[in-house]
Amino acid sequence: MPMLKAAGIGGSLVVILALIITFLKQIIAFIGFLTFAIKILVVIVFAALFIGVGLMVLRSFNDRRKAKE
C-alpha cells in the first residue's frame, strides 16, 4: 500500500516541486557562471587594451627618439 500512496497526486506534486526547485537552482548557478565569465572577459579585454596603448606610447617614444638622432 505505501507504493500507491507514493504514486498518488500528493507524491506527484512533491516530485514536480522538487524538480522545479532543482531546475531553478541550476539556472541560478548557470547565470552566476555566465556573469563570472563575462567579468573575466571584461578584465582580459581591459588588460589587452591597456597593454596595447602602452605599446603604442612606447613605439611613438622610440620613433621620436630615433628621429632626433
Provide the residue ranges of all domains of the chain, joining segments of one domain with +.
2-68
pLDDT (0 to 100) of residue 4: 57
**CA dist 58 to 18, 24, 52, 63, 68, Å?**
60, 51, 10, 9, 16
Tell me the residue type at 67: A
What is d(CA 25, CA 37) in angstroms, rounded to the nearest whole number?
18
Q: Is this model's pTM higher than 0.85 or not?
A: no
Joined together, the cell numbers standing for residue 67 give: 628621429
Cα(38)–Cα(21) distance, rounded to whole angstroms? 26
Show pLDDT as tens, one digit a residue, over the chain (69 residues): 565 555 677 778 888 999 999 999 999 999 999 999 999 999 999 999 999 999 999 999 898 888 776
